Amino acid sequence: MSLTQDQIVNEAEVAVSTLGSPLLDGLNNIISWYNEFVGGYLLLFLLVPTGIYFAFKFRFLHVRKFWHSFAILAGRFTGKGESGDVNHFRALTTALSATVGTGNIVGVALAIHWGGPGAIFWMWVTGFFGMMLKMVECTLGLKYRQFNPDGTVSGGPMYYMEHGLKDILGKHAKTLAIIFAAAAVLCSLGTGNMAQSNSMTDVLNSTYNIPHWIAGLIIASLVLVIVVGGLKRIAEVTSKLVPIMAVIYFLAAVLVVVLNIENLLPAFGLIFTDAFTGTAAAGGFAGSVFILTLTMGVRRGLFSNEAGQGSAAMAHAAAKTQYPMREGLVASLEPFIDTLFICTLTAIVIIMTGAWQSGIEGVGMTVEAFGLGLDKISIGYLAPHIISVGLLLFAFSTIISWSYYGTRAAQYLFGFRAIKPYYYVYALFVFFGSIWGLELVWNFVDMVITFMTIPNLIAIVLLAPVMKREIKNYFSMPDYNKRIS
């Protein structure tokens, strides 16, 4: 019996998606156990408390100097001839493109699905104190950066661990740096890669009926072409993609909010009340305990803005400035833009339209929310296309930005010879993410995030005296806010 073209494609899709299923199921069970009983609690007891510690220690500097951060970003204090690879704006957009991804569309929906509307409150808490964490880790990342023989810059947690902690930890400082760099390589394959390609191929399949494996091959090929160009090409692409994708998604979300404005205040009210009652949607809407709401909010908040994870410090270390504190202030804006602004828009749309009660998981919940919201003016049919375009741009920019983080970590571990092989491995994992199941991919992401975050939080706490000196030195300059013409 001859097969039609559609049958051949469908059979190929099934064959690829079931490849190694028993092994993957066993792996998923192990990872789930770790996330539930080890990693989740470690993050809960380390991440937000560390952010609170720095916020009080430095008297909420991220709030007091909020507008100064924007002034730096606008280029008011950029001098000519400063060392680095990219300017403040491109460093921020590169880091933002790595954080503004599926976490803002899929991650928010998953947080609400498993933790209820109250999980968004804990995402806000993570984002607010995450602003302080970003400031600290990116200031330290630039302070301890190194210039490579080709003139490019390498920086990030592995460098401030090795050099900044040498007097504190001795030979163990290098060990901690190696652990972090190895975790960063793994995380680049999960957080910035598979989670993104999985969501991209999922939305392409559900909206346009493109088989996962075909979409995965195409995306992997495009990623490989771009990432071999290095940071400057990545920054060039992301500096164009980030504003475009933000405007498209923002306008669509605002339109839904305006069309359903009567539900806006009740939606915010539900977030605040549910944050402490724990009446979440998990388990078929049977309700959940407070700890699940809290844990899901913290996990998805960290995935969204990466504050405390140390990843953004690698991008900000390449900024053209002689003042580490200046780039730390710019970096503090990331969680504000990512979590407190973009994620909030997604959450409000999902809650105010009632889509959070649909039982749909993942990107489908967000599509449902936009569809319900836009149906008031009979254009709900556009929702799948709006979400598809937004998600594709969000996720693709994240993939190419995270490739930079992975190369910095691979270079630290194995030298420049490791960069080219890493590109091919990275592209391969783009494909793996496109064919693996949603649960396995996101469980893997939650696991590897802890491998990066925990060593980094330990390091920045130990380096708090260094950060204190950087703050004092910068703000004691009489002309720290003097405009440079």
pLDDT in tens, 154-194: 889 999 999 999 999 999 999 999 999 999 999 999 888 88
Query: Distance between CA atoms of 481 and 485, rounded to whole angstroms?
Result: 12
What would the DSSP string read from start to end of 410-435? HHHHH-GGGHHHHHHHHHHHHHHHHH
- Its pTM stands at 0.84
Q: Where are the alpha helices (DSSP H) in 190-289?
A: 195-208, 212-227, 230-259, 264-277, 282-285
What angle (nearest 5°) sits at the alpha carbon of residue 191, between those of residues 310 and 425?
Answer: 105
pLDDT in tens, 308-328: 899 989 888 888 888 899 999
pLDDT band at 281 (very low <50, low <70, confident <90, very high): very low
CA neighbor of 311 nearest in space, from 236, 239, 403: 403
Query: Does 258 have pLDDT greater than 90?
Result: yes
| Phi–psi pair at 478, nearest 5 degrees | -65, -20
Q: Is the dihedral of CA 222, 228, 233, 235 positive or negative?
A: positive
Q: Tell me, what's the pLDDT at 202?
A: 86
Structural domains of the chain, with CATH: 20-475 (1.20.1740)
Q: Tell me, what's the pLDDT at 454?
A: 93
Q: Tell me, what's the pLDDT at 237?
A: 67
Work out the mean pLDDT of the chain and round it to a whole number. 83
Query: Does 48 have pLDDT greater than 50?
Result: yes
- The rounded percent of the chain whose pLDDT value lies above 90 is 39
Q: Is the dihedral of CA 18, 22, 23, 27 positive or negative?
A: positive
Q: Tell me, what's the pLDDT at 18?
A: 45
CA neighbor of 312 nearest in space, from 472, 161, 126, 184: 184
Query: Does 459 have pLDDT greater than 90?
Result: yes
Query: Distance between CA atoms of 174 and 164, rounded to whole angstroms?
Result: 10
pLDDT band at 13 (very low <50, low <70, confident <90, very high): very low
Q: Please state the rounded mean pLDDT for residues 272-292.
A: 62
Q: Tell me, what's the pLDDT at 82?
A: 63
pLDDT in tens, 370-406: 999 998 888 888 888 888 888 888 888 888 888 888 9
